[in-house]
Amino acid sequence: MTVSALAQPVAGLTSLPVNPDEGFPQSFLLALAGRTYQVELYVDVPEHLLPREPGQRESVDVVGGAAGPAIGLLVAAIARQEPDGTLVSLLRRRLLPGLLYTARELLLVVDEVYVAAGNLNGAGPFGSVLRARVGAR
């Protein structure tokens, strides 16, 4: 698996069918190029770094930047489901926008991430956004 900065657009990728209103963690099956993949997305934040009573729409920084480091991580775990049902792990990695992730036969790009506190272990329209694209190499 390799990670590189996204210098130019990557053609041929399709949107990852994430519904941020379902909250994190979430898991789904993805059919791509004749194969089936299990995709798991979760946010890992040490409880002591969360505000005591965050508003449901309050941002949980999983990216970091000039204003300070991230307090948590957005993680993806992707496995290929073999015809006999066994899973072959392809990726378990922190996701950051603007990077191209290569995991065996897959490419993954995260375009935008915003995690609302209300979507940590909870569902609802609290404003979380996760736009990502995936494709075959």
Q: For 78-124, what is each residue's pLDDT tens digit? A: 999 999 999 999 999 999 999 999 999 999 999 999 999 999 999 99
DSSP E strand stretches across 23-86: 26-32, 35-44, 73-81
Domain boundaries, the chain: 2-46+56-136
Query: Does the pTM of the predicted model rise above 0.75?
Result: yes
CA–CA separation, 93 and 1 (whole Å):
10
Residues whose CB falls within 8 Å of the CB of residue 67, separated by 6 or more in sequence, listed in order: none
